[in-house]
């Protein structure tokens, strides 16, 4: 799989990563090389194989729908970049 610079820009947009123009060429090469490694998977026929989601084929446990967490807003917001009156502040989203 050979990617183009434009593909890498699209992936970066999906991943919400700012990629500088100077880094794009190298990144395109690196990502293409990694995907070339992944291409080796194509050699094996897996048409009748069930995908494996968990090594022990375990399923998600359920618990009773009870409140188990306590309110620790002040503690959690103590490490936030920008808060005001218990809210997280971000740049204006709606004009």
Helix or strand holding residue 30 (H, E): helix 21-38
Residue 67 binds other proteins (CB under 8 A): no
Q: How far apart are CA 42 and CA 49, in angstroms?
A: 14
Residue 12 binds other proteins (CB under 8 A): yes
Within 15-44, which residues bind other proteins (CB under 8 A)? 15-20, 27, 30-31, 33-35, 37-42, 44
Q: Do 5 and 24 touch, CB atoms closer than 8 A?
A: yes
Q: How far apart are CA 29 and CA 36, in angstroms?
A: 10
Interface residues toward other proteins, by CB under 8 A: 8, 11-12, 14-20, 27, 30-31, 33-35, 37-42, 44, 46, 49-56, 58, 60-61, 63, 72, 75-76, 78-82, 88, 90-93
């Amino acid at each position: 799989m050979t990617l183009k610079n434009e593909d890498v820009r699209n992936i970066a947009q999906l991943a919400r990563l700012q990629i500088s123009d100077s880094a794009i060429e190298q990144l395109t090469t690196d990502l293409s090389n990694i995907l070339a490694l992944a291409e080796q998977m194509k050699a094996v026929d897996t048409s009748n194989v069930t995908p494996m989601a968990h090594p022990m084929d375990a399923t998600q446990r359920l618990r009773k729908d009870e409140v188990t967490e306590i309110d620790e807003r002040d503690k959690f917001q103590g490490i936030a970049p920008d808060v005001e009156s218990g809210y997280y502040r971000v740049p204006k989203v709606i004009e």
